[in-house]
Amino acid sequence: MDTNLLAMVLQSLLGLSLVLGLFALIIWGVRRFQHHSGNAVERDFKIIQRLHLDNKNSLVEIRHQGRHYLLGLSPGGMVQLHSDQALSAASPSKQVEDHD
């Protein structure tokens, strides 16, 4: 009777490891596919920083093709507040301080 219980436990563990392995393989494949899909322009967008003003409003600095954009986000929509080519990625906080 002990060998039957041991066999059932081993079978359950083997089945669980197989399911978890398949799940990990699917996640790996989806992530790899997402990184290789789309063109280079879509992947060039990067959120530099986000400043939450309150529960509904925030400021977002985005870099795209070497240019920085300051966007205001609210429930009413999105507004471009400033576009500056000279802003360096090393000093993203300077952009937000200039607009206070």
Tell me, yes or no, whether 51 and 69 share the same domain. yes
Closest CA to 15 of 4, 27, 23: 23
Tell me, yes or no, whether 19 and 62 share the same domain. no
| Residue 12 clears pLDDT 70, i.e. is over it | yes
What is the span of the domain harbouring residue 23? 1-37
Reported as a single tens digit per residue, the pLDDT across 31-75 is 888 876 655 445 678 889 999 999 999 999 988 888 888 999 999
pLDDT at 8: 94
Beta carbons within 8 Å of 90's beta carbon, 6+ residues apart: none
> Which pairs with CB-CB distance under 8 Å and at least 24 residues apart come from 71-77?
none
Mean pLDDT of the chain: 80
- Residues making up the chain, counted from first to last: 100
pLDDT at 85: 52
Of 98 and 24, more confident: 24
Q: Element (H or E) spanning 15, and its range? A: helix 2-36
Tell me, yes or no, whether 20 and 57 share the same domain. no
Number of domains comprising the chain: 2
